[in-house]
Amino acid sequence: IRDGNDVIYNLMLDIPTATLGGSVEVPTITGRARLKIPAGTQPGKVLRLRGKGLPSTEGYGTGDELINVMVYIPETLTDDEKKTIESLQGKPNMTPNESTKNRIFSKLRHIFES
């Protein structure tokens, strides 16, 4: 999606990569780029690839590529996958505290305000 000289790309991450971090390849205007995903990346976080957008129409500068992070939640699970996720349920790090909830919802607020 174009936004002035910037390009917005919606990246769908799996739960392990969003949680543990890793590296992914994303398309850019000029090809592909590797992007480091920090551990604990939340849905709605925007990562920036500087200079990977469109050139300015005034002849100087280049926009950025903004990577909008989304996290894929599977709709169906095998019995083993269900057991693994159930084993995490109720663990202290699996439940967001109030400040985390407020931070995440404030970042996602723009989705509901349109």
Domain boundaries of the chain, sorted by first residue: 2-112
Summarize pLDDT for 78-112 with one digit per residue, the tens: 999 999 999 998 888 888 777 776 766 666 665 55
Q: Which amino acid is at 50?
A: R
Chain-centre distance for alpha carbon 49: 13
Summarize pLDDT for 59-75 with one digit per residue, the tens: 788 999 999 999 999 99
Class of domain 2-112: mainly beta
Q: What is the CA radius of gyration of the chain?
A: 17
Q: 3-state DSSP call for residue 9?
A: strand
The whole-angstrom separation of Cα 96 and Cα 61 is 40
